[in-house]
Amino acid sequence: MSEPTGLSLKGRPLPTFQSMAKQALGNSQLRRNLRKATSTIRDKRARVVGEMPDWEELREAGRALKERALRHLDTYLLELEASVRRAGGQVHWARDAEEANAIIARIVEDHGAREVIKVKSLTTDEIRLNSALAVRGIKAIETDLAELIIQLAGEGSSHILVPAIHKNRAEIREIFRRELKVEELTDEPRDLTAAARAHLRRKFLSTPVAISGVNFAVAETGSVCVVESEGNGRMCVTLPQVLISVMGIEKVLPTWQDMEVFLQLLPRSSTAERMNPYTSLWTGMHEGDGPREFHLVLLDNGRTQVLADTVSRQTLNCIRCSACLNICPVYERTGGHAYSSVYPGPIGAILTPQLLGIKQASTLPYASSLCGACYDVCPVKINIPQILIYLRGRVVRQKRLSHRLRERADPEGMVMRVIARTFAMRSRYEQAQKLAQLGQLPLKRGDFIEWLPGELGNWTIMRDLPAVPKQSFRDWWRERQQARRSGEESEA
């Protein structure tokens, strides 16, 4: 159904969201799987967030801490670098995907490894690390259950937390039977999980190099944090001799104490648990415990572009919890593949166009009804609807530039100018209302207009237009004021 998609800055434009969504909406199995999964997790999240008396205060602190870290990103990255080095780790800087992949491949090759184990990491999906390693003859083995499922199925992720959310148990059983060559296997999640455990245990014990992402890194102490459920993360950061962790530069936090905020916000927002089963924190290297070599790769890959825009900088607050995906009415229906990116859902709709450039992903800012639910659930208060609208503005300006249309010849621009003139003056606006009341009569069906002629029909293909009511608010208000005045007069 879809190729694993990374984010390469030199990529071609993504397919339009509308065309991908249309395809996805035709798949009723997918829609059933998604509806079941997202409604389950939405209810659970509401429950565990509801039991926190200080949730709003935590959200505000999380937002403010991210703002502090981002406004002084250079300072904190240098502090992090120094702390990690002091604790015995090595730090690498990568401008883009290619540079990061080359650094990682070189470390793996230095140790003569042909196989590496991986903890689920969006950042490594973003840079398409697995295929970059494959080109150099290195096999990357995904150890997260869902990542394993889609790796075996040869597909891309459709959810940032549960990449195989689009697959049901029967489909997973077929994949395991075929790829893991397990003959006797039921479709009970317990049995499927046991099959994955047996398959991966040998890999954990024999593979010398592991690659992980990073949830948080503390500048003050150099501590790196991986938050997970299955224990594959613990295996990867503990067992191999060499550990390579890749982090986007925005993941840095100023101090150890700041962890108290994010360790409360993340688990409740993402897996809807009071706490996830396992959180690992390590600080450089530890004599006699864990890897003998630790490398931290700091990745830019478009993030400084996002940082430069003062309106949409807050996009970098994201802690990849996926609450916005689970709550989104658009995501619930189209699924993640429609967004053609490793970052789907509302956060993907704003992050992907900024990382790739607005030209490459110009339809994603429209992948939303602007209902605002994503903003309400965001644990770090990213104002996603505001950024969506802002990016739509950038898309329009970009289109004008690239089509070299003078503003006057652009029909959409013309309509908008007329509307702006109409809305600018009270008398014009009221006249227009009266005209619309009369003009709509042949088109009106009840309270809605279901069909508009000509170019305007583009609107009604997708949705109904509410009809202009018989009495406008302004008329009602005027009548009310008049009635009051005459009431007062008669009292006097």
Of 143-172, binders to other proteins (CB under 8 A) are 143-146, 149, 162, 164-165, 168-169, 172
Q: Does 185 bind other proteins (CB under 8 A)?
A: no
Contact window for other proteins (CB under 8 A) among 72-80, 374-382, 392-400, 437-445: 72-80
Position among 105, 196, 214, 387 found at the interface with other proteins (CB under 8 A): 196
Q: Does 189 bind other proteins (CB under 8 A)?
A: yes
The DSSP-derived string for 315-326 is GGG-----HHHH
Please report, for residues 115, 141, 159, 220, 242, the alpha-carbon distance to residue 134 in angstroms, rounded to integers and kept in the order given: 10, 11, 24, 36, 19
Question: Which amino acid type is present at position 449?
Answer: I
Restricting to residues 85-114, which ones interact with other proteins according to CB under 8 A?
87, 92-95, 99, 103
- Identify any residues that bridge with 93 across adjacent strands, giving them in sequence order: 298
Residue 20 or 328 having the CB closest to other proteins: 328
CA–CA dist 448, 201 (Å, integer):
60
Contact window for other proteins (CB under 8 A) among 178-186, 215-223, 327-335, 355-363: 215-223
- Identify any residues that bridge with 193 across adjacent strands, giving them in sequence order: none
Residue 103 or 321 having the CB closest to other proteins: 103
CA–CA dist 205, 297 (Å, integer):
24
Restricting to residues 396-435, which ones interact with other proteins according to CB under 8 A?
none
- Per the CB < 8 A criterion, the answer to whether 444 and 467 are in contact is yes
Q: How far is the CB of 135 from other proteins (least distance, A)?
A: 20
Position among 305, 386, 433, 472 found at the interface with other proteins (CB under 8 A): 305
Per-residue b or e along 257-294, where b marks 16 or more CB atoms closer than 10 Å to that residue's CB: ebbebbbbbbbbbbbbeeebeebbbbbbbeeeebbebb
Position among 15, 208, 277, 357 found at the interface with other proteins (CB under 8 A): 277
Position among 231, 357, 372, 413 found at the interface with other proteins (CB under 8 A): 231
HSE of 468 in the Cβ direction (CA atoms, 13 Å)?
17
Q: How far is the CB of 52 from other proteins (least distance, A)?
A: 9
Residues whose CB is less than 8 angstroms from the CB of residue 282 and which lie 6 or more positions away in sequence, other chains included: 223, 224, 237, 290, 294
CA–CA dist 165, 38 (Å, integer):
9
Q: Does 271 bind other proteins (CB under 8 A)?
A: yes
Q: Does 474 bind other proteins (CB under 8 A)?
A: no
Restricting to residues 109-138, which ones interact with other proteins according to CB under 8 A?
none
Q: Does 230 bind other proteins (CB under 8 A)?
A: yes
Q: How far is the CB of 315 from other proteins (least distance, A)?
A: 13
Q: Does 264 bind other proteins (CB under 8 A)?
A: yes
Contact window for other proteins (CB under 8 A) among 17-25, 305-313, 421-429, 432-440: 305-313
For tokens 């996009």, name the residue. Answer: 315
Position among 15, 23, 67, 440 found at the interface with other proteins (CB under 8 A): 67
Residue 157 or 363 having the CB closest to other proteins: 157
Restricting to residues 309-338, which ones interact with other proteins according to CB under 8 A?
310
Contact window for other proteins (CB under 8 A) among 216-224, 327-335, 385-393, 404-412: 216-224
Q: Does 180 bind other proteins (CB under 8 A)?
A: no
Residues whose CB is less than 8 angstroms from the CB of residue 484 and which lie 6 or more positions away in sequence, other chains included: none
Question: Which amino acid type is present at position 389?
Answer: I
User: Total binding residues for other proteins by CB under 8 A?
Assistant: 97
HSE of 50 in the Cβ direction (CA atoms, 13 Å)?
6
Helix H or strand E segment including 90: strand 90-94
